[in-house]
A and B are shown apart, each in its own frame.
Chain A
Amino acid sequence: AQTVTQSQPEMSVQEAETVTLSCTYDTSENNYYLFWYKQPPSRQMILVIRQEAYKQQNATENRFSVNFQKAAKSFSLKISDSQLGDTAMYFCAFTDNYGQNFVFGPGTRLSVLP
């Protein structure tokens, strides 16, 4: 069974600084999909970024980028120029090539400090 680990339960960063959230996963699959979801205090789950395992290029969405290391099974999220609105829980998630089962990590609570 696949597992997703987020080793940082809580993190904080100063506004305008850069922060990196860690995620590692375990799978025997060769092709799969990885996601970062954001959950602000409103509880709404919002997709931040998605990476297909067969793509070597790291995904980027504005201030959010990932460092995908397939061999190391690592998928970290970098947030540049942190903003107060980035304060949220961040979940790393995995699904296999069939997109049926989804496995989420335990989450990292990020606080952006003014």
Chain B
Amino acid sequence: EAQVTQNPRYLITVTGKKLTVTCSQNMNHEYMSWYRQDPGLGLRQIYYSMNVEVTDKGDVPEGYKVSRKEKRNFPLILESPSPNQTSLYFCASSPWLGETYEQYFGPGTRLTVT
């Protein structure tokens, strides 16, 4: 089944404790992206990647890191989480070549930082 998976689905952590949210897609998509969703703000793009070893900042990259060492994986790293990073996070992928730009989203990760 073609899908984007994220782990964990739910995470409660404390301020300053490094964490990683994994994202994997099995559709051989070139493009992958991370978003955070907050009430009243919609989804805001954190980072995106056009292909392996190619990443770029979105609109809200502060406090986050990403890497793209393999085409299928695009982990989101919070080196020192803070309470303002409490949010719902989505990973998405897209067959960028072909210019449909339709994104396939993962199920979301609910992160709470206390």
Contact = CB atoms under 8 A, between A and B. Distances in A.
Interface in A84-100: 91, 93, 95, 99-100
- Chain B binding site: helix, strand, loop or mixed by DSSP? strand
A interface, size bucket = 20 to 34
Interface string B56-100: 101100000000000000000000000000001010101010011
B103 A43 contact: no
A47 B102 contact: yes
Interface residues of B, number: 27
B59 A103 contact: yes
B9 to A, nearest CB: 10
Contact of B108 (A1, A33, A43): A43
A102 B101 CA distance: 10
Contacts of A101: 45, 48, 58-59
Interface of B: 31, 33, 35, 40-45, 48, 50, 56, 58-59, 88, 90, 92, 94, 96, 99-103, 105, 107-108
